[in-house]
Structure 1
Amino acid sequence: MAQPAELIAARTPPARHGGLWAWCQRHLWGTRGNAVVSVVLIAWLAWCVPPAMEWGLWHAVFRPDADSCQAVRGSGACWGVVAEKYRLILLGRYPFEEQWRPVLATLALVLLLVLSCVPACWKRGLALAWAGVWLLFFGLMGGGNWWGVPTGLSAVSTDQWGGLPLTLMLASLSIGLAFPLGVLVALGRQSQMPAIRSVCITYIELVRGVPLISVLFMASFMFPLLMPTGTSPDVLLRVLVGITLFSGAYTAEIVRGGLQAIPRGQLEAAATLGLGYWQTQRLVVLPQALAHVVPGLMNNFIAIFKDTSLVTIVSLYELSGSLGLAVQGDPNWRPFKIEGYLFITLIYFVFCLSLSRYSLWVERQVSHR
């Protein structure tokens, strides 16, 4: 006769290893070496943070009062320089009464940049939205007769554009143009046609062999010498072409690294299926190659965004140039330019951190496929 089944008491649930204490145990003092480094860093922060807080917050002046800033000079920060000069820093030399135009143009551009990062918006209409935003941006910024179409706004020359709108415009357009250029040059460098391969190699090595400042200088001052007398492209266009060509060379090398990671067997398999060269690149090679180089591409995009600060050498005053213009010309606020640089550093940090976090999200999405 079968024995009745014996009931076993329920076991206690496993202990939860989450929370702040568990995270500290894993990352800060999980090993002896980590513990030593963590103690040193915590001690360094305890030594540095209180004086920094006193200078930046407790003893700081936030109102635009130059006399009050002079009174706390050396012991407290003067954020009043930002409150006093924020328009000139963010919008450059754009006419004061027309500054609603760059504000509206920048908001439209930033909104579309955010929407372009959302997969649900990756539809054919996104390209039309970009075309519309660029027409709106240049129409608002330039005014007058834009491409023969009257805008009803007063004309503002490009040498008066500056600040954040100029930085975002140069970075967005140069990234958008440098990426397809880099892909085509990377494919050309691996081409079996000697002429195309030689041209691409020459372009990459020539551009990578000179600093961006030299490229901007040649695009701004030497290129007009090669044009017919009395004709010269706008300085903004010349700078944009220079940054795009410079960034395209670095993008090409990053993409080429991804192309070399694709096994040759996949190309042979695509050929057996009857796919042509461009079909193979579009459907088989490029999706995998670009997925391999997402961190490198995003690093290059961040570098492009920061390199726009070099256009100051050709008298285009983006964020950092506008700050110098705002502070250096006013002796009352000139001693407090460090606070202004910290302000634009925060702006650059927010944008670069956003790009970095988005890159990590893209990497996770690609790794799950």
Structure 2
Amino acid sequence: MQLFNFVKNIFLKSFFFSLFAIISLNSYAEINNKICLILDKGGKDDKSFNQSAYEGFLKAQSDFKITKDSKYVTVKEDSQSPHFIRTLSNGDCGLIIAVGFNNADIVGKMAQKFPKQRYVLVDSSIKETNIRSLSFQEHEGSFLIGAIAAIKSKTAKIGFIGGMEIPLIKRFALGFESGAKYINPKIKITETYVGVSPAAWNNPTKAKELALSMYNQESDIIFVAAGASSQGVFDAVSDMNKKNNKAETKKFVIGVDSNQNYLIPGTVLTSMEKKVNSKIYSAVKDFIENKFTTGVITCGFADDGVDWAYDTYNKQLFSNEDIKKINKIKQDIISKKINVPDYYKVGK
């Protein structure tokens, strides 16, 4: 009888301990299935980088078992970034996704302070054991975009307008210039920036002024990488083409980050896509399925991280010969036959 009672007590203790563990794990899983997205200043309606991130987040919300209180916040002032990331890191979210280089430093610091917290950092290469850094190879995409601009330009004059003058955007600019000169070494490229502070991402009026100046000086194609300021360039190209609707003098714009071809069909030559939406979606999927890995993940042509946008909105602008030439350059970048210069490594 004593042996029976002893075994019974052990069994009951084991049973209740296991039950408690299961309940605890389920509660823990529920807490950790809360996903928090921090958008940069452009916000979810910038028709560009942040919008792409937001769309990936929404699709993940729809497809996976993440809690209903998963949320996004938008950094509108520089001081908000540390506050948001610090607050969310204190056990509120299982996975924190921070978009943009402006959030990189504080994420790096919080990752050290909260080693059990998991982060996804978009557009950075910070190495911490609890961060997945998505490093998009914008110089590869911009090289191809520059080549496309040189192939299609009738004036042999093209332009680049960046948002904030920082190494990341100069990486776009150097890739664009290199690609254009790969096609036409004598092509003239005008390069300028909206500003030197974060406000440069939200100043479409200044971007429009810069674009009009370029178009009036015979640049017929402008590649813009300026966040919400990019809208000013789209407005400028529309105004220019309304004043002069001759096909031989038509002006074009090249979009960035998201596929922006639909914004002005037939006038957006193409867009340099960074597949932020799909990479965020994959990160959430990995997290939910307990397959989440950290480290710096490279997102270039070979990784389906960048591409040029070719669809029904711009299809009529390219001949079969153009497409063959463009695809050949893309494959040569993937195979390393073309060595794309990287501003991060070579400067300018």
The answer to whether TM tops 0.5 is no
- Structure 1 length as normaliser, TM-score? 0.26
| TM superposition score normalised by structure 2 | 0.27
Structure number, greater radius of gyration: 1
Normalized per residue, the structure richer in strand is 2
